[in-house]
Amino acid sequence: MTQIDNQLEKMPKEEAGRKPRLRFAPSPTGLMHIGGYRTMLFSWLYARHTGGTFILRIEDTDVARTVEGAVEFLLDGMRWLGIDYDEGPIVSGQYGPYYQTQRKAIYQQYAHQLIESGHAYRCYCTAERLEQMRNAQAALKLPPRYDRHCRYLTEEQRAANEAAGLKYVVRIAMPLEGETVVHDEIHGDITFKNSDIDDAVILKSDGFALYHLTSIVDDHLMGITHVLRGDEWISSAPRHIQIYKALGWELPLFYHVPTVLGKDKKKLSKRHNAPSWIELKENGFLPEAVFNFLALIGWSYDDKTELFTREELIRVFTLDRVGAAGGIYDPDKLLWMNGVYIRQMPLEELVERALPYMERPESAGGLPDSVKRPLDREYTSRVLNLEHERLKTLGEAAEVVSFFFVDELHYDTAMLVQKGMDAGRTLVGLVRARDLFNSLEEWKHEMMEPPMRELAAELGMKPGQLFGAIRVAISGRTATPPLFETMEVLGRERSMARIEKAIERLA
């Protein structure tokens, strides 16, 4: 029994009719950016929504361009986002192997079957001839396409080429007349003139097949019922349909999902503003927020609901709500959504997840290296409790709270002097505030604010003028959490030392 026979024997004939089978099939020719995970997520959500099967297949036949570590990077990103798979590398499954380089013989047999049936042919054209052909077409301002030279070779010419051992590729023999109608579940029927479609290469001279053949063979043998892929593949779909017809196979349902665009409406790519999952992780974005955000790029439940748990998305996700227009990757919206998720997080969990970001080296965005590690968890909890409502990412936690941990503040003395004040009046205010703070029996925020407001009135200052000077003195910043709650967490000793230092600066 051949490898193909084994595949055919194992095909899920009944299963495909009962439960959807979907796949994601990336090429490891680069590290996948976050837009690729969006397309993957759509297939995964629908498989989980229907109780179907989600398959991961690695289309690695472009050996020369394969990037080392790309598959591991892909799998790590899936684990971070919480996207699992039922069949594929590592997990395995009965329809494998799931690396296309391990399925080379299968594709070669089907390529030769297409040649025998007249739906494909061997092309012996050299690179030099193809270059001359393209140059001639460019001179005549014709679209670049293969001129079908080898399609019309006689049997004698083909035999001579074979006898000479000439290298060849295999090309699909597209119909020369008529039309091919692509039925897409999102875009409807799309009609193509067959005469406008090139005879694309489906098998290279090194024996490796290309996407136009591999994806069809694998989707059929693996029983894929729904093909979700980017809408940039619509132009290739007529070739794929002709191959399906030539092999006598039933078509899956095609969903060409909208391209992920940047805010400038240009396609998101590694060269154009597309972050990777690792960048988002290192910047402190939560995987559950990114998961939610990606699901909304090109899909919507209604015109108002934006926040979903993973379980809610699985429950409500249907393919009829995928739009045809390009989805926008809006980093500002992701930042907002991430902040919402952080605010909804219990404080104990926030501390647990923020600590690794705060304790990493200063060069990597952590607290200054002078701050002793590991951090005191109880103190860190009190600090983050103050900043909880303001945080948008875990990565910014270290910068936002650093003044709670450092021994010495660095700021411009002029920052102490608030609008409508001068250095002399500010100095008087800080001295009087210091004395009042020293007189407090308890270092509680509710004990601080009333007498400080009375002091401001006594000195003829607005509360904001006095409080602003104290805020800069104890934090080195013009914006902090509520002032007196901040001072309570800082503690009496550290707060008073900083106010004394500010008085020295002004004096």
Asked whether the beta carbons of 217 and 353 are under 8 A apart, the reply is: no
Q: 424 burial class (0-12, 13-18, 19+ CB within 10 angstroms)?
A: exposed
Backbone angles phi, psi at 55, to 5 degrees: -115, 135
Torsion of the alpha carbons at 384, 385, 390 and 392, rounded to the nearest 10:
50
392 is catalytic: no
Helical segments of 19-126, H only: 34-50, 70-81, 104-116
Helical segments of 187-330, H only: 211-221, 237-247, 277-282, 287-295, 310-316
Helices and strands (H and E) in the chain: how many: 21, 11
Report CA-CA distances (Å) from 127 to 111, 121, 204, 359.
21, 17, 13, 56
Within 10 angstroms of residue 18's Cβ, the number of other Cβ atoms is 11
Asked whether the beta carbons of 395 and 279 are under 8 A apart, the reply is: no
Enter the tokens of residue 320: 């009829």
Enter the tokens of residue 193: 């003139």
Asked whether the beta carbons of 36 and 81 are under 8 A apart, the reply is: no
- Give the closest residue to 74 by CA, choosing from 7, 14, 24, 23: 24
Asked whether the beta carbons of 259 and 187 are under 8 A apart, the reply is: no
Within 10 angstroms of residue 361's Cβ, the number of other Cβ atoms is 11
Q: Which of 10, 104, 267, 270 is catalytic?
A: 270
The H or E element that residue 493 is part of is helix 492-506
Letter string b/e over residues 119-153, b meaning 16 or more CB atoms within 10 A of that residue's CB: bbbbbbbeeeeeeebeeeeeeeeeeeebbeebbeb
Report CA-CA distances (Å) from 453 to 386, 484, 490.
22, 12, 21
Asked whether the beta carbons of 164 and 193 are under 8 A apart, the reply is: no
Which residues, in sequence order, are bridge partners of residue 396?
none
Report CA-CA distances (Å) from 26 to 195, 293, 329, 465.
30, 21, 20, 59
What is the C-alpha to C-alpha distance for residues 207 and 63, in angstroms, rounded to an integer? Answer: 11
> Is it true that the peptide bond before 143 is cis, omega within 30 degrees of 0?
no
The H or E element that residue 439 is part of is helix 423-439
Write out the catalytic residue numbers.
270
